[in-house]
Structure 1
Amino acid sequence: MKLDHSYILPSLMALMVHIVVAFIVMTEWQSQSKRTPPLQIKQRVEATLIDLDSLLAQQKQVVSAADKKAADKKVADKKAADKKAADKKAADKKAADKKKADKKKADKKKADKKKADKKKADKKLADKKVADKKATAKKAADKKKVDKKVLDKKAADKKVADKKVVDKKVVDKKVADKKLADKKLADKKLADKKLADKKVADKKVADKKVADKKAAEQKVAQQLAEVEQALNNLLDDEDAQMQALEQEATNSQAVASAVNYIRSEIIQRWVRPANARTGMVVELVIHLVPTGEVVDIEIRYRDDSATDAFVASAVKAVKKVGRFDKLSQLKAGLFDANFREFNFLFKPEDLRL
């Protein structure tokens, strides 16, 4: 057991004071016993003997008790300090564990959010790829359709040209046959005249020949009339075909001009929204009357990338036009076939970026 040094110095000083007092008392007593006074006067002295060992033992007990009390207090204080330190350590560990658990929970939440954001971004990218692929496929299909239409028109034009060649050959043959028939008729008339002049004497025979000649002439004339009528009909058919082709070309030009006119009118009134991007597509069905007035607008198709603002801007542009005045100049049949329900494909890259 370690003693508290704060009690050692006072204890030693008290012990030294007791020793000094005892030493003075003993010295005084011895000097008085050796000295013979001139006049002995009996005095009564009351003295108390001090047992130094007992005094030292008592002092030691006092010191030991004080040391024990100090040591006990120190032990108690140490226990209290140790308990306080242990409690603080336990509290710190609990706080650290909670902080670690909270951080782990926050990290997990952050990782989950990051994973969800990545999944959302991946889905958006995949959707865009699908939309781009769809738009590309549609564009390819439209090009293929246009190419087929061009090829079909070329084939039809070639067929018409070939028919014209064949028809011309037929007409040329009929004209040649008619010339040959005219020559034969002329030769026959000359032969008949010579025969009539030769057989003028025989009136009966001549009359019969004249009658036969008239019958033959009527038959040939009828055949020539039929040939001429067939030739005229053929020429009329060829003229009708040429007029039909010219009318078809005129109608195609009128339709193309009207389509460009409609597109131009809509583009002039379109206000590009801030989020319009290349690749967005919306297809509108514009319902019109022969005066060119817009009576209804339908949204037939919109791709995944087309925003509400982009679709609304397309519809608003058509509504701003309100009426396509030049369409009233089209023929009724041409209008009904092409513009009664007009499909308009709306894409930013076809308009202005």
Structure 2
Amino acid sequence: MGEFGLIERIRRRAVDLSRGGRLVLGVGDDAAVLRPRPGFDLLATTDLLSEGVHFNLSWTSFYDLGVKAVAANISDIAAMGGTPTALLIALSLPPSTPAGRVDLFYRGVLDAAKPFSARLAGGDTTASPAGAGVTICVTALGEIERGRALTRSGARPGDLIFVSGTLGGSAGGLELLTHGTRFTPGRYRTDPVEEKPERSLIRAHLHPVPLVVLGRALAQGRLATAAIDVSDGLLADLGHIADESGVAAVVEIARIPVSPALRGVPRLGAKVESLAAAGGEDYELLFTARPEHAGKIERLARKCRFPVAPIGRVGPRRSGTPRVQTVDARGRTIRFEDLGYEHFRTAVRKRG
């Protein structure tokens, strides 16, 4: 097919999402042209996904890969309180990759972008070196009212810590896939699906849903003092907020909302708490807020139809104390061997 044939193939498939919105000129030129709205700041985020580190093609279809690559990036825009506008996707493939797999990948990309009106603005393609696998680089662009972006650096002592939805579902799905359970979720959906616990967990892992509506509402209402999406794991991501804000955080382990599907799979029972606290890739929103805003946040969550739970409190950073501490109902410290995902760490676990 060749590189130019591949680009033309992508261009034809993306025709419905390569125009309109902020995008003036998309796939086919040396650069995309976007027209920013007056009074808005530009948001930009990039993720690099490598086969064998971020995904395993023995249980991830090219369609699922396209879905997850896009959803993970849009989740970063959601965590900043923004609206996604455009995507740039660079793809490195073994030369022997069938054209049908490329079609499946971009079908997943477009299905994940469409609910959020994000346009495919362009990207690049290249052949992988001999022996190398698939590598994907996704850049998502977004916009937010000037000066309204949610950051990791605004948490202050006395703030409450909140998290949306439930946790541990994605990590539970990865556990099941790693040990041989297989399930294909089908077309991407953003609405809840009633299904068996095992299928629900695998869907959570392969087809995450970014919470753009909730992020926008928190930013527009000026309710969150700091925010991040749960990608590396609750405790690891809370640590990012603590570091950037110069504070410490205490989480009550009993308050962490655990995925009901995770509790519904008996063989995962011994790992439930650790998967919820440190598993990662749930793409829920973790944020801090002043106590006086708790009522407004509860009402907002009901309006947006996203459950939100208070799980702890922000305190001052003191020498010799951990940046993130987990405690039981009596205030006794609970230690987790694994606090979350971190690249370049020795003996780091792989994602799926």
- TM-score class normalised by the smaller sequence: under 0.3
Larger radius of gyration: 1
Which structure has more helix as a fraction of its residues? 1
- Give TM-score scaled by structure 1 length: 0.19
